[in-house]
Structure 1
């Protein structure tokens, strides 16, 4: 009797469901499990091929008649913020991000719940419990960090840490060629800060400092307002039928 090796990925296709990005369309996804000794290598190969990670699952759209979802990665060395993006950086100059191990906390979950209740009450994550959240953060077989953002304290220059309440957070995978922003959330009442944009800008800086050429942002969907912001960070590469294509 033979069995499939644990390190050899098997791919599965979901049934059609309502598309969360474009009206009157259905989506399907192909997915596999990221487990075993080769999980980090497999995650990198799949990410470079347009997959996204959620816990121990890597997935990508596999819709029958639509190719609107396009993987995007920012060229970190060449990126220069526009005037508007510079204003976002200035508005958040009092914040400092600290990378910690991917361990959940009650403070994180409280912020996560405020964010969902204010911004995504009808989304697929709206009913996530503390246990669900813990699994989202901890259940990873790859190099994963949590970046917590707090206000700078009087000792931040010495300790390298922020002070005060948690304002924003990002779950981030570290790969050999870049950082991948898996999921981020922030204080929903701080509209003027554009915290989602700020975290992207900070991750571009982090990747550049680490000598990593790319920041993976997931899918840009033409015609979707909720995904339109990803087109602001250029130069970037988009994964098309012919491979990664530069867009300025």
Structure 2
């Protein structure tokens, strides 16, 4: 199925497939290509409307009977680390941060494989080889960086990060699963909040928060979290109040969703 706007970009819908977050449900995505000279502006604009980037594609959930997935971001000005998060920062204070161009290395891939084999052995990336990994890191038409975290030169965590006009977007992160004591996933997010503060950027985009999903529940632990729901960003003040029940009217028809998308030049 294809839906188009009067002027590019064109929007498409994926075929339904099993949801990776909530058992027994089917997911569907609305997506468009990210290419050309206008790619950075399109990425900035659609990221503010709940879209995420994967290589040269922008997508957001568009499930027929479910609206549980919500794009989440940290409002940097409203963020204060919790006591446990301060302990995470203290335990990982020895890590060295290094920002590089989006270029894949064998060391990164080895860490990526160890992370997948330990945490996501049956996930959609489980069979990703070195060439596919390199494509994930390097195929970016916008301003991206690879943020590496090392200890005495040994790579321990990596995050592929996009630099938007209003914040940092964590596209994908992975870390040494053997260092569970360091809570490296949490540390990467906390350090990106610090980077955003240093760059005077207001937001850190974390991907999707899914109430009821153990994989995504950790995001609600960050103060200042906002979620994109009903076309607007709102503070996440009561995570337990969200209803994830299926309902045939949960989502608007695809054509209506596309019609409400705002493009970088102000057109809808």
Normalising by structure 1, what TM-score?
0.91
Runs of 5+ in structure 1 lacking a partner? 152-162
Q: CA deviation at 1:75?
A: 0.8
- Aligned counterparts of 1:172 and 1:106: Cα–Cα separation in 2: 19
SS in 2 for 1:11: strand
Q: CA deviation at 1:242?
A: 4.6
Q: CA deviation at 1:96?
A: 1.6
SS in 2 for 1:43: helix
Select 2:188's aligned residue among 185, 196, 199. 199
The corresponding residue for 1:154 is none
Q: How does 1:34-113 map to 2 (within 5 A)?
A: 34-113=34-113
Cα deviation 1:72-109 (Å, max 9, x = unaligned): 11011221101000010011011021111000111111
Q: CA deviation at 1:27?
A: 0.5
- Aligned counterparts of 1:116 and 1:211: Cα–Cα separation in 2: 33
Cα deviation 1:157-179 (Å, max 9, x = unaligned): xxxxxx32100000000011000
Q: CA deviation at 1:9?
A: 1.1
- Aligned counterparts of 2:142 and 2:201: Cα–Cα separation in 1: 17
Q: How does 1:217-228 map to 2 (within 5 A)?
A: 217-228=206-217
- Structure 1's consecutive aligned runs of 4 or more residues displaced over 3 angstroms after TM superposition are none
The corresponding residue for 2:232 is 243
Contact 2:29 2:63 in 1 (8 A): yes
- Aligned counterparts of 1:245 and 1:106: Cα–Cα separation in 2: 40
The corresponding residue for 2:163 is 174
Q: CA deviation at 1:238?
A: 1.0
Cα deviation 1:174-209 (Å, max 9, x = unaligned): 011000000000001001010000000000000011
Q: How does 1:140-155 map to 2 (within 5 A)?
A: 140-151=140-151
Cα deviation 1:96-129 (Å, max 9, x = unaligned): 2111100011111111111111111100001011
Runs of 5+ in structure 2 lacking a partner? 238-268
Count of residues paired in the alignment: 233
Contact 2:49 2:231 in 1 (8 A): no
- Aligned counterparts of 1:116 and 1:247: Cα–Cα separation in 2: 29
- Aligned counterparts of 1:180 and 1:28: Cα–Cα separation in 2: 22
SS in 1 for 2:153: strand
Q: CA deviation at 1:22?
A: 0.5
